[in-house]
Amino acid sequence: MNKNNNTPSGDGGKLKIAIQKSGRLHDDSIKLLKECGIDISNGVNKLKSEASNFPLEVYFLRDDDIPQYVEDAVADLGFVGENVVYEKEKQVEVVEKLGFGKCRLSIAVRRGEEYDKISSLQGKKIATSYPVLVKKFLDENNITAEIHEISGSVEIAPGIGLADAICDLVSSGSTLFMNGLKETETILNSQAVLIKNKNLDGEKQNLLNKLLFRIQSVKKAKNNKYVLLNAPNDNLKQIISLLPGMKSPTVLPLAEEGWSSVHSVISENEFWDIIEKLKAAGAQGILVVPIEKMII
């Protein structure tokens, strides 16, 4: 299927996106498409599904296979972890970080073991499912170590004498802890990303731009909150200076004289900081509302 020239495959100009069939990225991938207003039926054991209200076909695949399918133009797009994209080294383009599936690829050693810096790994045996990324990390740090590639249950390797250290994905760290390991180095911070085939035709690129616009609106909305508050007019100037707003805050008079209602948008990062300052400046009745979509 167009492995060599990546030309459109008579699919009526529909975009084809590959997402994980089941596993940690599946639910959030479907959720993101839904939040972008794209309805897909998600039957169990289905290989493929079609959106009813967007020219999009969804392929359900193992995450490890997604970069290859996108490189080969079997799928135009994919949602997949950065860890997989960079390990597989396929010719695909990362278009957008998606904000879910966050984890890190880390080195861990037995809890009792002495470890002060990267050179502690010199001459050691490291078990991992990520040989490419581990090799890169070791080379960059001038460490020679033996990489032992295994495909699953990496965290038990030190306990059964298979390796001195491991390199695996970590989110909370509880799996490492339960296996008597401690995390010593992070070699990659990862999250799910949107990847695309490098040779999309104009029509598909237009559809991708549409999808991307929706994804970015959903992401922006998640990173921001709508805030409504009552402000004494005497402090209005100071309160407004604390609020960025999309252009500038909306200010409406309250029925009670001397007070105004102020509406604005605050980013999640600076949220608590700004709320504290608003309270200190005399703001009252502060309401914080989630935003569903944000179009700038």
Please report whether residue 240 would count as binding ligand ATP according to CB under 6 A: no
Number of residues that bind ligand ATP (CB under 6 A): 15
Q: Are 103 and 168 in contact (CB under 8 A)?
A: no
Please report whether residue 23 would count as binding ligand ATP according to CB under 6 A: yes
Strand ranges (E), 51-141: 56-61, 77-81, 92-97, 103-110, 125-128
Could you say which of 57, 63, 71, 76 contacts Zn ion (CB under 5 A)? 63
Number of other CB atoms surrounding residue 189 within 10 Å: 12
Of residues 32 and 262, the one with the C-beta less far from ligand ATP: 32
Of residues 109 and 193, the one with the C-beta less far from ligand ATP: 193
Minimum gap (Å) between residue 79 Cβ and Zn ion:
13
Please report whether residue 167 would count as binding ligand ATP according to CB under 6 A: no
Task: Give the integer Cα–Cα distance in Å for 264 and 249.
Answer: 5
Please report whether residue 155 would count as binding ligand ATP according to CB under 6 A: no
**Structural tokens at position 190:** 């990862």
Please report whether residue 88 would count as binding ligand ATP according to CB under 6 A: no
Helix (H, G, I), strand (E, B) or coil at 11: coil
Task: Give the integer Cα–Cα distance in Å for 8 and 144.
Answer: 46
Among Zn ion, ligand ATP, none, partner that 76 touches (CB below 5 to 8 angstroms by kind): none
Helix (H, G, I), strand (E, B) or coil at 85: helix
Binding site for ligand ATP (CB under 6 A): 20, 23-25, 62-64, 81, 83-84, 101, 103, 169, 171, 190
Binding site for Zn ion (CB under 5 A): 63-64
